[in-house]
Chains A and B, each alone.
Chain A
Protein backbone atom coordinates (compact mmCIF):
# COMPACT_ATOMS: atom_id res chain seq x y z
CA UNK A 1 0.00 0.00 0.00
CA UNK A 2 1.05 3.55 -0.38
CA UNK A 3 1.44 6.41 2.02
CA UNK A 4 2.65 9.91 1.15
CA UNK A 5 5.34 11.89 2.89
CA UNK A 6 6.01 15.53 2.04
CA UNK A 7 8.47 17.69 3.94
CA UNK A 8 9.78 21.21 3.47
CA UNK A 9 8.31 21.38 -0.02
CA UNK A 10 8.67 24.70 -1.87
CA UNK A 11 7.98 25.68 -5.45
CA UNK A 12 8.40 28.99 -7.28
CA UNK A 13 7.38 30.12 -10.75
CA UNK A 14 8.84 32.90 -12.88
CA UNK A 15 6.34 35.66 -13.64
CA UNK A 16 5.69 36.96 -17.13
CA UNK A 17 6.42 40.56 -16.08
CA UNK A 18 9.71 39.52 -14.47
CA UNK A 19 10.52 38.26 -11.01
CA UNK A 20 9.32 35.08 -9.39
CA UNK A 21 6.39 34.04 -7.23
CA UNK A 22 6.44 31.47 -4.45
CA UNK A 23 3.60 29.07 -5.22
CA UNK A 24 4.29 26.77 -2.29
CA UNK A 25 6.42 27.40 0.79
CA UNK A 26 7.64 24.85 3.27
CA UNK A 27 4.75 22.41 2.98
CA UNK A 28 4.74 19.41 5.30
CA UNK A 29 2.11 16.73 4.82
CA UNK A 30 1.73 13.10 5.71
CA UNK A 31 -1.00 10.95 4.30
CA UNK A 32 -1.56 7.43 5.52
CA UNK A 33 -2.11 4.50 3.25
CA UNK A 34 -5.77 4.24 2.36
CA UNK A 35 -6.62 7.69 3.70
CA UNK A 36 -8.90 10.14 1.91
CA UNK A 37 -7.42 13.65 2.21
CA UNK A 38 -8.86 16.82 0.73
CA UNK A 39 -6.65 19.78 -0.09
CA UNK A 40 -8.98 22.73 0.41
CA UNK A 41 -8.31 26.37 -0.29
CA UNK A 42 -9.17 29.38 -2.43
CA UNK A 43 -7.97 29.53 -6.02
CA UNK A 44 -4.32 30.43 -6.34
CA UNK A 45 -3.30 28.79 -3.06
CA UNK A 46 -1.14 26.22 -4.85
CA UNK A 47 -3.28 23.16 -4.23
CA UNK A 48 -3.12 21.98 -7.84
CA UNK A 49 0.62 22.68 -7.87
CA UNK A 50 1.00 20.48 -4.79
CA UNK A 51 -1.11 17.76 -6.38
CA UNK A 52 0.90 17.87 -9.61
CA UNK A 53 4.16 17.57 -7.69
CA UNK A 54 2.77 14.55 -5.82
CA UNK A 55 1.67 13.03 -9.12
CA UNK A 56 5.11 13.57 -10.65
CA UNK A 57 3.84 16.08 -13.23
CA UNK A 58 5.91 18.90 -11.71
CA UNK A 59 9.12 19.09 -9.70
CA UNK A 60 9.70 20.80 -6.36
CA UNK A 61 12.41 23.45 -6.02
CA UNK A 62 13.12 22.44 -2.44
CA UNK A 63 12.05 19.74 -0.02
CA UNK A 64 11.29 16.09 -0.47
CA UNK A 65 8.32 14.07 -1.68
CA UNK A 66 7.82 10.38 -1.31
CA UNK A 67 4.79 8.58 -2.67
CA UNK A 68 4.55 4.90 -1.92
CA UNK A 69 6.41 2.27 0.02
CA UNK A 70 9.15 3.82 2.25
CA UNK A 71 11.81 1.46 0.89
CA UNK A 72 11.08 1.44 -2.81
CA UNK A 73 9.10 4.70 -3.12
CA UNK A 74 7.04 3.19 -5.90
CA UNK A 75 3.30 3.24 -6.27
CA UNK A 76 0.78 2.97 -9.06
CA UNK A 77 -0.77 6.42 -9.24
CA UNK A 78 -3.55 7.77 -11.37
CA UNK A 79 -5.21 11.10 -11.90
CA UNK A 80 -8.68 12.52 -12.51
CA UNK A 81 -8.43 16.06 -13.87
CA UNK A 82 -10.94 18.86 -13.63
CA UNK A 83 -11.81 18.23 -17.29
CA UNK A 84 -12.21 14.66 -18.57
CA UNK A 85 -9.13 14.92 -20.84
CA UNK A 86 -10.26 12.02 -23.01
CA UNK A 87 -8.72 11.52 -26.44
CA UNK A 88 -11.54 12.70 -28.71
CA UNK A 89 -10.38 10.57 -31.67
CA UNK A 90 -10.65 7.37 -29.66
CA UNK A 91 -13.77 5.51 -28.59
CA UNK A 92 -14.49 5.23 -24.88
CA UNK A 93 -13.11 1.69 -24.95
CA UNK A 94 -9.90 2.77 -26.73
CA UNK A 95 -9.49 5.64 -24.29
CA UNK A 96 -9.51 3.16 -21.45
CA UNK A 97 -7.22 0.74 -23.23
CA UNK A 98 -4.71 3.58 -23.69
CA UNK A 99 -3.77 3.50 -20.00
CA UNK A 100 -3.42 -0.30 -19.79
CA UNK A 101 -0.05 -1.94 -20.30
CA UNK A 102 -1.24 -5.46 -20.96
CA UNK A 103 -3.72 -6.46 -23.61
CA UNK A 104 -4.82 -9.73 -22.04
CA UNK A 105 -8.06 -9.44 -20.15
CA UNK A 106 -8.26 -5.76 -21.05
CA UNK A 107 -11.73 -5.97 -22.56
CA UNK A 108 -13.20 -7.70 -19.53
CA UNK A 109 -11.68 -5.15 -17.16
CA UNK A 110 -12.86 -2.26 -19.32
CA UNK A 111 -16.38 -3.67 -19.44
CA UNK A 112 -16.33 -4.18 -15.69
CA UNK A 113 -15.33 -0.58 -15.00
CA UNK A 114 -17.71 0.87 -17.55
CA UNK A 115 -20.49 -0.93 -15.76
CA UNK A 116 -19.25 0.26 -12.36
CA UNK A 117 -19.43 3.90 -13.45
CA UNK A 118 -22.85 3.37 -15.02
CA UNK A 119 -21.78 3.40 -18.67
CA UNK A 120 -22.30 -0.24 -19.62
CA UNK A 121 -22.67 -0.58 -23.36
CA UNK A 122 -21.24 2.86 -24.19
CA UNK A 123 -17.75 1.54 -24.95
CA UNK A 124 -17.98 2.16 -28.68
CA UNK A 125 -19.22 5.73 -28.38
CA UNK A 126 -16.90 8.64 -28.97
CA UNK A 127 -16.45 11.19 -26.18
CA UNK A 128 -18.42 13.84 -28.09
CA UNK A 129 -21.46 11.57 -27.94
CA UNK A 130 -21.43 11.63 -24.14
CA UNK A 131 -22.58 14.33 -21.74
CA UNK A 132 -19.97 16.14 -19.65
CA UNK A 133 -20.96 14.09 -16.61
CA UNK A 134 -20.63 10.84 -18.58
CA UNK A 135 -17.22 11.89 -19.87
CA UNK A 136 -16.07 12.53 -16.34
CA UNK A 137 -17.37 9.08 -15.41
CA UNK A 138 -15.13 7.66 -18.14
CA UNK A 139 -12.23 9.62 -16.63
CA UNK A 140 -12.98 8.06 -13.24
CA UNK A 141 -13.15 4.60 -14.82
CA UNK A 142 -9.82 5.27 -16.55
CA UNK A 143 -8.24 6.23 -13.25
CA UNK A 144 -9.53 3.17 -11.37
CA UNK A 145 -8.94 0.70 -14.20
CA UNK A 146 -5.22 0.58 -13.50
CA UNK A 147 -5.93 -0.34 -9.85
CA UNK A 148 -4.01 2.59 -8.38
CA UNK A 149 -2.40 2.67 -4.96
CA UNK A 150 -2.87 6.42 -4.96
CA UNK A 151 -5.61 8.35 -6.75
CA UNK A 152 -5.11 12.07 -7.37
CA UNK A 153 -8.21 14.15 -8.12
CA UNK A 154 -8.19 17.83 -9.08
CA UNK A 155 -11.67 19.31 -8.57
CA UNK A 156 -13.11 16.46 -10.64
CA UNK A 157 -16.76 17.37 -10.06
CA UNK A 158 -16.58 21.17 -10.14
CA UNK A 159 -17.71 21.43 -13.77
CA UNK A 160 -20.77 19.24 -13.20
CA UNK A 161 -24.24 20.27 -12.12
CA UNK A 162 -24.79 19.80 -8.39
CA UNK A 163 -27.18 16.86 -8.76
CA UNK A 164 -24.71 14.88 -10.88
CA UNK A 165 -21.80 15.95 -8.70
CA UNK A 166 -23.41 14.80 -5.46
CA UNK A 167 -24.33 11.44 -6.99
CA UNK A 168 -20.77 10.98 -8.22
CA UNK A 169 -19.35 11.91 -4.80
CA UNK A 170 -21.39 9.14 -3.21
CA UNK A 171 -20.32 6.67 -5.88
CA UNK A 172 -16.69 7.72 -5.44
CA UNK A 173 -16.84 7.00 -1.70
CA UNK A 174 -18.28 3.55 -2.42
CA UNK A 175 -15.53 2.72 -4.91
CA UNK A 176 -12.83 4.09 -2.61
CA UNK A 177 -14.00 1.97 0.31
CA UNK A 178 -14.01 -1.06 -1.93
CA UNK A 179 -10.55 -0.46 -3.41
CA UNK A 180 -8.82 0.88 -0.31
CA UNK A 181 -6.56 3.21 -2.26
CA UNK A 182 -5.15 6.47 -0.95
CA UNK A 183 -6.99 9.52 -2.32
CA UNK A 184 -5.72 13.09 -2.53
CA UNK A 185 -8.61 15.28 -3.60
CA UNK A 186 -8.26 18.98 -4.44
CA UNK A 187 -11.33 21.16 -3.98
CA UNK A 188 -12.41 24.72 -3.18
CA UNK A 189 -15.79 23.52 -1.94
CA UNK A 190 -15.89 23.10 1.91
CA UNK A 191 -19.10 21.04 1.80
CA UNK A 192 -17.56 18.66 -0.69
CA UNK A 193 -14.44 18.30 1.46
CA UNK A 194 -16.54 17.73 4.59
CA UNK A 195 -18.58 15.01 2.87
CA UNK A 196 -15.63 13.16 1.35
CA UNK A 197 -12.55 13.48 3.49
CA UNK A 198 -11.04 11.70 6.45
CA UNK A 199 -8.94 14.78 6.87
CA UNK A 200 -8.95 18.25 5.30
CA UNK A 201 -5.68 20.05 4.76
CA UNK A 202 -6.64 23.73 4.66
CA UNK A 203 -4.40 25.84 2.44
CA UNK A 204 -3.96 29.59 2.16
CA UNK A 205 -2.38 31.57 -0.67
CA UNK A 206 0.54 33.93 -1.01
CA UNK A 207 2.67 31.81 -0.64
CA UNK A 208 0.71 28.57 -0.61
CA UNK A 209 0.99 26.59 2.59
CA UNK A 210 -1.05 24.26 4.75
CA UNK A 211 -2.42 26.37 7.63
CA UNK A 212 -4.46 23.79 9.50
CA UNK A 213 -5.38 20.15 9.27
CA UNK A 214 -8.93 19.28 10.18
CA UNK A 215 -9.83 15.70 11.04
CA UNK A 216 -13.34 15.07 9.78
CA UNK A 217 -13.60 11.40 10.67
CA UNK A 218 -14.03 12.24 14.37
CA UNK A 219 -16.90 14.67 13.80
CA UNK A 220 -18.51 12.62 11.05
CA UNK A 221 -18.27 8.84 11.13
CA UNK A 222 -18.92 6.93 7.93
CA UNK A 223 -21.17 6.16 6.19
CA UNK A 224 -22.12 9.78 5.75
CA UNK A 225 -25.36 11.28 4.61
CA UNK A 226 -25.18 14.21 2.20
CA UNK A 227 -28.07 15.84 4.12
CA UNK A 228 -26.45 15.45 7.54
CA UNK A 229 -26.59 18.76 9.43
CA UNK A 230 -23.17 18.08 10.88
CA UNK A 231 -21.69 18.55 7.40
CA UNK A 232 -22.64 22.21 7.66
CA UNK A 233 -20.90 22.44 11.00
CA UNK A 234 -17.65 21.00 9.65
CA UNK A 235 -17.94 23.26 6.64
CA UNK A 236 -18.51 26.33 8.86
CA UNK A 237 -15.48 25.47 10.98
CA UNK A 238 -13.31 25.05 7.92
CA UNK A 239 -14.53 28.29 6.39
CA UNK A 240 -13.84 30.16 9.63
CA UNK A 241 -10.24 28.91 9.50
CA UNK A 242 -9.98 30.15 5.91
CA UNK A 243 -11.56 33.52 6.77
CA UNK A 244 -9.43 33.88 9.87
CA UNK A 245 -6.37 33.41 7.78
CA UNK A 246 -7.31 35.99 5.22
CA UNK A 247 -8.40 38.59 7.81
CA UNK A 248 -5.22 37.87 9.79
CA UNK A 249 -3.20 38.52 6.66
CA UNK A 250 -4.85 41.86 6.08
CA UNK A 251 -4.03 43.03 9.61
Chain B
Protein backbone atom coordinates (compact mmCIF):
# COMPACT_ATOMS: atom_id res chain seq x y z
CA UNK B 1 0.00 0.00 0.00
CA UNK B 2 1.36 3.39 -0.91
CA UNK B 3 1.30 6.48 1.25
CA UNK B 4 -1.33 8.04 -1.02
CA UNK B 5 -3.59 5.02 -0.70
CA UNK B 6 -3.43 5.29 3.10
CA UNK B 7 -4.16 9.01 2.84
CA UNK B 8 -7.09 8.28 0.55
CA UNK B 9 -8.37 5.71 3.02
CA UNK B 10 -8.11 8.19 5.91
CA UNK B 11 -9.82 10.91 3.86
CA UNK B 12 -12.63 8.54 2.96
CA UNK B 13 -13.07 7.49 6.59
CA UNK B 14 -13.18 11.15 7.59
CA UNK B 15 -15.77 11.84 4.93
CA UNK B 16 -17.94 8.94 6.10
CA UNK B 17 -17.74 10.14 9.67
CA UNK B 18 -18.75 13.65 8.67
CA UNK B 19 -21.73 12.33 6.71
CA UNK B 20 -22.80 10.14 9.67
CA UNK B 21 -22.49 13.17 11.97
CA UNK B 22 -24.75 15.14 9.66
CA UNK B 23 -27.37 12.38 9.72
CA UNK B 24 -27.24 12.14 13.53
CA UNK B 25 -27.50 15.93 13.78
CA UNK B 26 -30.65 15.80 11.70
CA UNK B 27 -32.17 13.17 14.04
CA UNK B 28 -31.28 15.35 17.06
CA UNK B 29 -32.93 18.30 15.35
CA UNK B 30 -36.10 16.25 14.85
CA UNK B 31 -36.12 15.25 18.52
CA UNK B 32 -35.66 18.89 19.52
CA UNK B 33 -38.56 19.94 17.33
CA UNK B 34 -40.73 17.22 18.88
CA UNK B 35 -39.95 18.45 22.37
CA UNK B 36 -40.80 21.98 21.28
CA UNK B 37 -44.09 20.70 19.85
CA UNK B 38 -44.88 19.18 23.25
CA UNK B 39 -44.25 22.51 25.00
CA UNK B 40 -46.42 24.34 22.46
CA UNK B 41 -49.20 21.83 23.19
CA UNK B 42 -49.04 22.54 26.91
CA UNK B 43 -49.07 26.27 26.27
CA UNK B 44 -52.14 25.99 24.04
CA UNK B 45 -53.98 23.97 26.68
CA UNK B 46 -53.23 26.64 29.29
CA UNK B 47 -54.40 29.31 26.85
CA UNK B 48 -57.64 27.39 26.38
CA UNK B 49 -58.39 27.58 30.12
CA UNK B 50 -57.22 31.16 30.32
CA UNK B 51 -59.64 32.17 27.56
CA UNK B 52 -62.58 30.85 29.64
CA UNK B 53 -61.47 32.92 32.60
CA UNK B 54 -61.05 35.94 30.33
CA UNK B 55 -64.53 35.60 28.84
CA UNK B 56 -65.95 35.26 32.34
CA UNK B 57 -64.16 38.47 33.41
CA UNK B 58 -65.47 40.29 30.35
CA UNK B 59 -69.02 39.04 30.94
CA UNK B 60 -68.87 40.16 34.57
CA UNK B 61 -67.61 43.58 33.54
CA UNK B 62 -70.33 44.21 30.92
CA UNK B 63 -73.24 42.42 32.70
CA UNK B 64 -72.09 43.18 36.23
CA UNK B 65 -75.64 43.31 37.58
CA UNK B 66 -76.39 39.67 36.60
CA UNK B 67 -73.05 37.92 36.28
CA UNK B 68 -70.67 37.91 39.24
CA UNK B 69 -66.98 37.80 38.33
CA UNK B 70 -64.50 35.07 39.14
CA UNK B 71 -63.00 36.91 42.10
CA UNK B 72 -66.39 37.44 43.69
CA UNK B 73 -67.26 33.82 43.08
CA UNK B 74 -64.05 32.47 44.57
CA UNK B 75 -64.48 34.75 47.59
CA UNK B 76 -67.93 33.27 48.02
CA UNK B 77 -66.47 29.76 47.81
CA UNK B 78 -63.94 30.75 50.48
CA UNK B 79 -66.69 31.99 52.81
CA UNK B 80 -68.77 28.84 52.30
CA UNK B 81 -65.67 26.77 53.01
CA UNK B 82 -65.06 28.68 56.24
CA UNK B 83 -68.66 28.16 57.37
CA UNK B 84 -68.29 24.45 56.61
CA UNK B 85 -71.44 24.36 54.46
CA UNK B 86 -69.62 23.75 51.19
CA UNK B 87 -67.70 20.73 52.41
CA UNK B 88 -70.71 19.26 54.20
CA UNK B 89 -72.95 19.45 51.15
CA UNK B 90 -70.16 18.37 48.84
CA UNK B 91 -69.50 15.32 50.98
CA UNK B 92 -73.20 14.30 50.90
CA UNK B 93 -73.24 14.66 47.11
CA UNK B 94 -69.97 12.76 46.68
CA UNK B 95 -71.28 9.83 48.74
CA UNK B 96 -74.41 9.60 46.60
CA UNK B 97 -72.36 9.70 43.39
CA UNK B 98 -69.83 7.12 44.56
CA UNK B 99 -72.48 4.63 45.70
CA UNK B 100 -74.38 5.01 42.43
CA UNK B 101 -71.16 4.85 40.40
CA UNK B 102 -69.89 1.65 42.00
CA UNK B 103 -73.29 -0.06 41.78
CA UNK B 104 -73.71 1.01 38.16
CA UNK B 105 -70.21 -0.17 37.19
CA UNK B 106 -70.71 -3.61 38.73
CA UNK B 107 -74.13 -4.06 37.14
CA UNK B 108 -73.15 -2.47 33.83
CA UNK B 109 -69.97 -4.51 33.32
CA UNK B 110 -71.73 -7.76 34.23
CA UNK B 111 -74.75 -7.09 31.99
CA UNK B 112 -72.61 -5.74 29.15
CA UNK B 113 -70.24 -8.73 29.18
CA UNK B 114 -73.20 -11.12 29.31
CA UNK B 115 -74.95 -9.36 26.40
CA UNK B 116 -71.75 -9.26 24.40
CA UNK B 117 -71.08 -12.96 24.76
CA UNK B 118 -74.65 -14.29 24.46
CA UNK B 119 -76.71 -13.48 21.40
CA UNK B 120 -79.89 -14.65 23.14
CA UNK B 121 -79.37 -12.46 26.17
CA UNK B 122 -78.60 -9.56 23.85
CA UNK B 123 -81.92 -10.04 22.06
CA UNK B 124 -83.80 -10.55 25.30
CA UNK B 125 -82.53 -7.35 26.94
CA UNK B 126 -82.65 -5.24 23.78
CA UNK B 127 -85.95 -3.54 24.74
CA UNK B 128 -84.77 -2.66 28.23
CA UNK B 129 -81.59 -1.17 26.87
CA UNK B 130 -83.39 1.00 24.33
CA UNK B 131 -85.89 2.14 26.93
CA UNK B 132 -83.30 3.11 29.54
CA UNK B 133 -81.15 4.81 26.91
CA UNK B 134 -83.99 6.95 25.58
CA UNK B 135 -85.97 7.83 28.71
CA UNK B 136 -85.63 11.53 29.60
CA UNK B 137 -83.35 11.70 32.63
CA UNK B 138 -85.62 14.11 34.50
CA UNK B 139 -88.47 11.61 34.18
CA UNK B 140 -86.35 8.98 35.95
CA UNK B 141 -85.83 11.22 38.96
CA UNK B 142 -89.47 12.29 39.14
CA UNK B 143 -90.77 8.73 38.86
CA UNK B 144 -88.23 7.44 41.42
CA UNK B 145 -89.22 10.16 43.92
CA UNK B 146 -92.93 9.55 43.36
CA UNK B 147 -92.72 5.77 43.76
CA UNK B 148 -90.04 5.43 46.45
CA UNK B 149 -90.38 8.77 48.17
CA UNK B 150 -88.08 11.77 48.54
CA UNK B 151 -85.18 9.67 49.79
CA UNK B 152 -81.51 9.08 49.03
CA UNK B 153 -82.42 5.60 47.88
CA UNK B 154 -84.67 6.98 45.14
CA UNK B 155 -81.99 9.42 44.05
CA UNK B 156 -79.26 6.76 43.89
CA UNK B 157 -81.54 4.35 42.03
CA UNK B 158 -82.39 6.99 39.42
CA UNK B 159 -78.68 7.75 39.05
CA UNK B 160 -77.85 4.09 38.56
CA UNK B 161 -80.52 3.70 35.88
CA UNK B 162 -79.20 6.86 34.23
CA UNK B 163 -75.66 5.55 34.03
CA UNK B 164 -75.97 1.78 33.57
CA UNK B 165 -77.12 1.65 29.92
CA UNK B 166 -74.13 3.63 28.62
CA UNK B 167 -71.80 1.30 30.52
CA UNK B 168 -73.63 -1.73 29.11
CA UNK B 169 -73.27 -0.45 25.54
CA UNK B 170 -69.52 0.15 25.92
CA UNK B 171 -68.77 -3.18 27.59
CA UNK B 172 -70.93 -5.06 25.10
CA UNK B 173 -68.89 -3.57 22.26
CA UNK B 174 -65.70 -4.51 24.07
CA UNK B 175 -66.85 -8.09 24.56
CA UNK B 176 -67.75 -8.37 20.88
CA UNK B 177 -64.31 -7.09 19.91
CA UNK B 178 -62.45 -9.75 21.91
CA UNK B 179 -59.54 -11.31 20.03
CA UNK B 180 -60.74 -14.83 19.21
CA UNK B 181 -57.23 -16.00 18.32
CA UNK B 182 -56.00 -15.40 21.88
CA UNK B 183 -58.96 -17.33 23.28
CA UNK B 184 -58.10 -20.14 20.88
CA UNK B 185 -54.56 -20.07 22.22
CA UNK B 186 -55.91 -20.42 25.78
CA UNK B 187 -58.04 -23.38 24.64
CA UNK B 188 -55.08 -25.02 22.88
CA UNK B 189 -53.15 -24.88 26.15
CA UNK B 190 -56.14 -26.31 28.06
CA UNK B 191 -56.68 -23.26 30.22
CA UNK B 192 -59.86 -23.19 32.32
CA UNK B 193 -62.69 -20.71 31.77
CA UNK B 194 -61.70 -18.85 34.92
CA UNK B 195 -58.08 -18.57 33.74
CA UNK B 196 -59.21 -17.36 30.32
CA UNK B 197 -61.44 -14.72 31.89
CA UNK B 198 -58.77 -13.46 34.23
CA UNK B 199 -55.77 -13.46 31.92
CA UNK B 200 -57.20 -13.14 28.41
CA UNK B 201 -60.67 -11.55 28.48
CA UNK B 202 -60.53 -9.07 31.37
CA UNK B 203 -57.31 -7.38 30.18
CA UNK B 204 -58.95 -6.85 26.79
CA UNK B 205 -62.02 -5.32 28.45
CA UNK B 206 -59.94 -3.05 30.70
CA UNK B 207 -59.67 -0.16 28.22
CA UNK B 208 -63.43 -0.29 27.70
CA UNK B 209 -64.06 -0.46 31.45
CA UNK B 210 -61.77 2.49 32.21
CA UNK B 211 -63.10 4.50 29.29
CA UNK B 212 -66.71 3.98 30.27
CA UNK B 213 -65.92 4.53 33.96
CA UNK B 214 -64.71 8.04 33.18
CA UNK B 215 -67.85 8.74 31.19
CA UNK B 216 -70.10 7.18 33.82
CA UNK B 217 -68.54 9.10 36.70
CA UNK B 218 -68.85 12.36 34.79
CA UNK B 219 -72.49 11.65 33.92
CA UNK B 220 -73.41 10.70 37.50
CA UNK B 221 -71.56 13.75 38.84
CA UNK B 222 -73.56 16.06 36.59
CA UNK B 223 -76.93 14.34 37.00
CA UNK B 224 -76.80 14.17 40.80
CA UNK B 225 -77.14 17.93 40.97
CA UNK B 226 -80.39 17.74 39.01
CA UNK B 227 -81.70 14.95 41.25
CA UNK B 228 -80.85 16.87 44.42
CA UNK B 229 -82.36 20.05 43.05
CA UNK B 230 -85.70 18.33 42.45
CA UNK B 231 -86.12 16.26 45.55
CA UNK B 232 -83.48 16.41 48.28
CA UNK B 233 -82.79 18.81 51.13
CA UNK B 234 -79.03 18.37 51.15
CA UNK B 235 -76.16 18.27 48.69
CA UNK B 236 -74.80 20.64 46.09
CA UNK B 237 -77.99 20.48 44.00
CA UNK B 238 -80.03 21.54 47.02
CA UNK B 239 -77.67 24.46 47.69
CA UNK B 240 -78.06 25.59 44.09
CA UNK B 241 -81.86 25.49 44.34
CA UNK B 242 -81.59 27.33 47.67
CA UNK B 243 -79.57 30.18 46.14
CA UNK B 244 -81.83 30.12 43.08
CA UNK B 245 -84.79 30.99 45.32
CA UNK B 246 -82.87 34.03 46.53
CA UNK B 247 -81.74 34.91 42.99
CA UNK B 248 -78.19 34.63 44.30
CA UNK B 249 -76.19 34.08 41.13
CA UNK B 250 -72.86 34.13 43.02
CA UNK B 251 -73.95 31.23 45.20
CA UNK B 252 -75.14 29.25 42.20
CA UNK B 253 -71.88 29.84 40.32
CA UNK B 254 -69.81 29.06 43.41
CA UNK B 255 -71.29 25.61 43.78
CA UNK B 256 -71.34 24.99 40.03
CA UNK B 257 -67.68 25.92 39.60
CA UNK B 258 -66.72 23.75 42.57
CA UNK B 259 -68.39 20.74 40.96
CA UNK B 260 -66.72 21.42 37.63
CA UNK B 261 -63.24 21.82 39.07
CA UNK B 262 -63.59 18.69 41.18
CA UNK B 263 -64.79 16.60 38.23
CA UNK B 264 -61.94 17.80 36.05
CA UNK B 265 -59.44 17.07 38.84
CA UNK B 266 -60.79 13.57 39.44
CA UNK B 267 -61.05 12.80 35.74
CA UNK B 268 -57.60 14.02 34.75
CA UNK B 269 -55.91 13.04 38.01
CA UNK B 270 -57.29 9.80 39.38
CA UNK B 271 -58.58 8.31 36.15
CA UNK B 272 -55.50 9.40 34.26
CA UNK B 273 -53.28 7.62 36.76
CA UNK B 274 -55.47 4.51 36.61
CA UNK B 275 -55.23 4.55 32.84
CA UNK B 276 -51.46 4.89 32.88
CA UNK B 277 -51.10 2.05 35.38
CA UNK B 278 -53.42 -0.23 33.45
CA UNK B 279 -51.57 0.34 30.18
CA UNK B 280 -47.96 0.08 31.27
CA UNK B 281 -47.55 -2.65 28.67
CA UNK B 282 -48.51 -0.28 25.87
CA UNK B 283 -46.68 2.65 24.43
CA UNK B 284 -47.39 5.78 26.52
CA UNK B 285 -50.91 7.12 26.01
CA UNK B 286 -52.12 10.70 25.99
CA UNK B 287 -54.80 11.31 28.60
CA UNK B 288 -57.61 13.66 27.65
CA UNK B 289 -60.64 14.64 29.67
CA UNK B 290 -63.86 12.96 28.57
CA UNK B 291 -66.03 14.73 31.17
Contacts and interface: CB of A to CB of B under 8 A. Distances in A.
Interface string A135-170: 000000010001000001000000000000000000
Contact of B181 (A85, A91, A99, A128): A85
Contact of B191 (A83, A88, A98, A152): A98
Interface of A: 55-57, 77-79, 81, 83, 85, 87-91, 98-99, 126, 128, 142, 146, 152
Nearest to A79: B188
B281 A78 contact: no
A78 B181 CA distance: 15
B191 A99 contact: yes
A79 B190 CA distance: 11
Contacts of A88: 281-282
Given A87-B200, A87-B203, 16 more contacts: A55-B188, A56-B187, A57-B188, A78-B189, A79-B185, A79-B189, A81-B184, A83-B181, A85-B185, A87-B182, A88-B282, A90-B203, A91-B281, A126-B281, A128-B281, A128-B283
Contacts of A77: 188
A79 B188 CA distance: 6
B284 to A, nearest CB: 12
A142 B190 CA distance: 13
A151 B85 CA distance: 70
A89 B203 CA distance: 7
A87 B199 contact: yes
Interface string B182-223: 101101110100010001100100100000000000000000
Nearest to A95: B199
B285 to A, nearest CB: 13
Contacts of B181: 81, 83, 85
Contact of B281 (A57, A85, A90, A146): A90
Size class of B's contact patch? Answer: 10 to 19
Interface of B: 181-182, 184-185, 187-189, 191, 195, 199-200, 203, 206, 281-283
B166 to A, nearest CB: 25
Nearest to A143: B189
Contacts of A126: 281
Contact of B185 (A56, A81, A91, A128): A81
3 shortest A-B CB distances, which residue pairs? Answer: A79-B188, A85-B185, A99-B189
- The residue in B184, B188, B203, B283 that gathers the most chain A C-beta atoms within 10 A of its C-beta is B188
Contacts of A128: 281-283
Contacts of A79: 185, 188-189
25 contacts: A56-B187, A57-B184, A57-B188, A77-B188, A79-B185, A79-B188, A81-B184, A81-B188, A85-B181, A85-B182, A85-B184, A87-B200, A87-B203, A88-B282, A89-B206, A89-B281, A90-B199, A98-B189, A98-B191, A98-B195, A99-B189, A128-B281, A128-B282, A128-B283, A142-B189
A91 B283 CA distance: 14
B192 to A, nearest CB: 10
A25 B282 CA distance: 44
